Amino acid sequence: MRVALSIAGSDSSGGAGIQADLKTFQALGVFGMSAVTAVTAQNTQKVYDIQEMRPEIVYGQIVCLFEDIPVHAVKIGMVASVPLIEAIADALGGLERLPPVVLDPVMISKSGYALLQPDAQAALVRHLFPLARVVTPNLPEAEALLGKKIADIDAMKIAAREISALGAKMVVVKGGHLGRGNATDVLFDGQDFRLLESRRIDTANTHGTGCTFSSAIAAHMARGESFFDAVTQAKTYITGAIENALSLGKGCGPTHHFFDLYRRAGMGVG
């Protein structure tokens, strides 16, 4: 059994964060484990509050798992403060053999709640980018990391190269926020680019898409797939999950992590 570890925050509504990661791992045939960095009070409408875990607890969660169970990939999501970032870097940096790490630089919720403290951005780049095999910023996150506007595909390619120069080995700049035509992601493996397109799906139910996409990449890497293959498979998965998204709650509903399993079981997926 292949195993993946999610280091991220808990989403009480179940659509994003640790909950989305574990569902994604399971849907893709990978056993999921978790190191919780924070508990959030949130629903489909917005994030109301965040309570961080103590850094030593986060460190302990990670270290005790690696001491006991082989881990084939790690996904890092919401890490809101410098002490948490440093604790994660200490835990992962102390490993004799680090599996592929997929880092999703979560900075702000869809409702506008800041999920990364301002002083933590530099720490994220300094401590976690060098440990990451893949970094997966969306356009606003890439703009924040680089301090400039990204307006088209050519600018996304430049951004991917510049983010790689910050320490990340491979980069996926997600283009959904361009808001026109197909949704195009730019993939960069340190040498070559690849564009990954999917048709834009008209739905408001997109809660947790970034978490789900990055954890799908981690799951496929845990299964031994190469960077380009893992991201391509993850793109197919997240597209299906959005196409079958669930209309739950009064805000942005979640994607359907088990849409394919439901379909094969003859169950309704909507």
> What confidence tens digit (pLDDT) does each residue in 139-162 have?
999 999 999 999 999 999 999 999
**Does residue 270 belong to any structural domain of this protein?**
no
**Does residue 195 belong to any structural domain of this protein?**
yes
> Which is nearest to 17 in space by CA: 252, 253, 215, 175?
215
Residues found in the chain: 270
Tell me which residue has tokens 């994003």: 16
pTM of the predicted structure, to 2 decimals:
0.95
Q: What is the CATH number of the domain that holds 139?
A: 3.40.1190.20
Q: What is the pLDDT of residue 264?
A: 87
**Does residue 18 belong to any structural domain of this protein?**
yes
Q: What is the pLDDT of residue 146?
A: 93
Give me the mean pLDDT over the 223-227 stretch.
98
**Does residue 58 belong to any structural domain of this protein?**
yes
Take residue 83 and report the two structure tokens written for it: 């002490």
Task: Give me the percent of the chain exceeding a pLDDT of 90.
Answer: 83
Collapsed DSSP state (helix, strand, coil) of residue 264? helix
**Does residue 65 belong to any structural domain of this protein?**
yes
Q: What is the pLDDT of residue 179?
A: 65
**Does residue 22 belong to any structural domain of this protein?**
yes
> Which is nearest to 73 in space by CA: 262, 195, 214?
214
Asked whether residue 66 carries a pLDDT value surpassing 80, the answer given is yes
Mean pLDDT, all residues of the chain = 93
Q: Which residues of 176-214 are buried (b: 16+ CB within 10 A; e: fewer)?
A: bebeeeebbbbbbbeeeeeebebeeeeeebbbbbbbbbb
Q: What is the pLDDT of residue 141?
A: 92
**Does residue 251 belong to any structural domain of this protein?**
yes
The catalytic residues are 174, 206, 208-211
Asked whether residue 180 carries a pLDDT value surpassing 80, the answer given is no
**Least confident piece of the model among 95-99, 200-204, 257-261:** 200-204
> Which is nearest to 118 in space by CA: 128, 107, 131?
107
**Does residue 269 belong to any structural domain of this protein?**
no
Give me the mean pLDDT over the 234-256 stretch.
95
Q: Which residue spans within 1-118 are E strands per DSSP?
A: 3-11, 31-42, 47-52, 73-76, 101-103
Alpha-carbon distance of 218 to 225, in angstroms, equals 10
> Which is nearest to 195 in space by CA: 232, 241, 240?
232
How many structural domains does the chain have? 1
* Residue 270: Cβ-neighbour burial (10 angstroms; 0-12, 13-18, 19+): exposed
Domain coverage including residue 117? 3-264
